[in-house]
Amino acid sequence: MSPRAKQQLYHSLAQLLRAGVTFPRALEKLSTTARGPARQTVARIRSHLDRGYTVAEACAAAHLGSTEAAVLAAVERAGSLDRGLEELARHFGALASARGRVLAKLAYPVFVLVLGVLLLNLPLIVRQDATAYLYATLPVLAAMVAAALALVVVCKFLAALASFDPLVDAFVRALPLIGGMQRAFAMSRFCLAYELQLNAGINVFDALQSASSASRSGMVRSAVARVLPEVRAGSQVGPLLAESSAIDPEVAQGIVVGEESGSLGSELRQLAATQSERAYGRLDALAEWLPRLVYVAVLLYVGASIVRVYRDYLDQLQPLLEGL
């Protein structure tokens, strides 16, 4: 499903749950109005629920995505499915809006790039060599499409690896524009899941493990795994997490303050909201700057191609000039 379709589905489910409708009944109601991939997804979730799956397991089996599965597993256990679904709706709504802005702003640089490739080889048409023109332009256009598809595949592959591998996660966090957004989203999911688990009366050990899984961050998973033995021995969570570079210092400080003041739930709720706003702000920045960077790259490519064409043309004229 597209991010926009996911936003609508999760928002509708959250609203129905808040109205007192059970999850299976909510899916039944949506199955009559959903269309396309959304309708197929609802049918798959209902099928898995009928087999005895939990909500999180059914959503994972329906191939909704690893992020959704991790978040829903945490909030379902805490009895707060509606809040988790609303957070997912907001997340995918922001992704859909950002993707729309990126695609709209990429239209012009992509047009310039394609036009440049077509015009740079126009002399071949003038010389009535259409076959050579096609051989000169089609491979370049195909290579551009292949490069764009490869970039998407690599980004998805890195995102999947980063959710489990601390080294890959650290690499992604070091990337300009993307790294800060990745960290903020991970912290937001961690704080949200941790707060929901604790408020549901789940012990701190299981709550931490569930929150680390919901974070979708290999670094956070590793940091939590390292501190769990000391937490079991009676140490407080906040000071231990503060020693790890995986945890935002603001988050670690908030947990320390919450543990000392007895208001950990409210602190985590505020931290989740703050980190979420930070992540969406950086997502907006990415949507603003990515098309600009692509446009600069296109101009450099077209400019270099023009220089190369004229240099080749002058090289061909040089013997003629020397013979005069």
- Structural domain harbouring 69: 3-89
* Other residues' Cβ atoms within 10 Å of the Cβ of residue 116: 18
* Contact by Cβ (8 Å): 256, 238: yes
pLDDT at 256: 93
Asked if residue 166 and residue 226 are part of one domain, the reply reads no
Residue for token pair 């859909």: 96
Asked if residue 275 and residue 134 are part of one domain, the reply reads no
Asked if residue 186 and residue 261 are part of one domain, the reply reads yes
* Residue 251 domain flag: yes
Number of domains in the chain: 3
* Residue 101 domain flag: no
Asked if residue 19 and residue 66 are part of one domain, the reply reads yes
* Residue 95 domain flag: no
Kind and range of the H or E run holding 147 = helix 130-162
Asked if residue 272 and residue 198 are part of one domain, the reply reads yes
For 263-311, the pLDDT digits (tens) are 888 898 889 888 888 888 888 888 788 777 777 777 777 777 677 766 7
Give me Rg for the CA atoms of the chain.
Answer: 26
- Residue among 30, 28, 25 nearest 10 (CA): 30
Asked if residue 17 and residue 71 are part of one domain, the reply reads yes
pLDDT at 34: 81
Instruction: Tell me which of 55, 89, 123 is where a domain ends.
Output: 89
For 46-87, the pLDDT digits (tens) are 898 888 888 888 887 887 776 677 778 777 777 788 888 888
Helix axes 264-323, 178-199, angle to 10 degrees: 160
Decide: helix, strand or coil at residue 203.
Answer: coil
Asked if residue 139 and residue 81 are part of one domain, the reply reads no
* Other residues' Cβ atoms within 10 Å of the Cβ of residue 155: 12
* Residue 219 domain flag: yes
For 120-175, the pLDDT digits (tens) are 666 655 555 667 666 767 777 788 788 888 988 888 888 889 988 999 999 999 98
Instruction: Tell me which of 265, 280, 295 is where a domain ends.
Output: 280
Asked if residue 154 and residue 69 are part of one domain, the reply reads no
Domain CATH for 37: 1.20.81.30
Helices then strands, counting H and E runs in the chain, come out as: 15, 0
Q: Which are the contacts of 202, defined by CB distance < 8 A and separation ≥ 6? A: 77, 78, 210
* Residue 94 domain flag: no
Asked if residue 74 and residue 133 are part of one domain, the reply reads no
* Residue 98 domain flag: no
Asked if residue 188 and residue 258 are part of one domain, the reply reads yes
Asked if residue 78 and residue 38 are part of one domain, the reply reads yes
Instruction: Tell me which of 62, 89, 116 is where a domain ends.
Output: 89
The 3-class secondary structure across 278-309, one letter per residue, is: HHHHHHHHHHHHHHHHHHHHHHHHHHHHHHHH
pLDDT at 55: 83
- Residue among 69, 86, 71, 80 nearest 14 (CA): 86
pLDDT greater than 70 at residue 31: yes
pLDDT at 321: 61
* Residue 102 domain flag: no
Asked if residue 162 and residue 34 are part of one domain, the reply reads no
pTM of the model: 0.71
Top pLDDT among 78 and 222 is at 222
Q: How many CA atoms lie within 13 A of 70 on its CB side?
A: 22
pLDDT at 224: 93
For 177-213, the pLDDT digits (tens) are 788 888 998 998 898 888 887 877 788 888 888 888 8
pLDDT at 323: 58
Confidence of residue 23 (pLDDT cuts 50, 70, 90): confident
* Residue 244 domain flag: yes
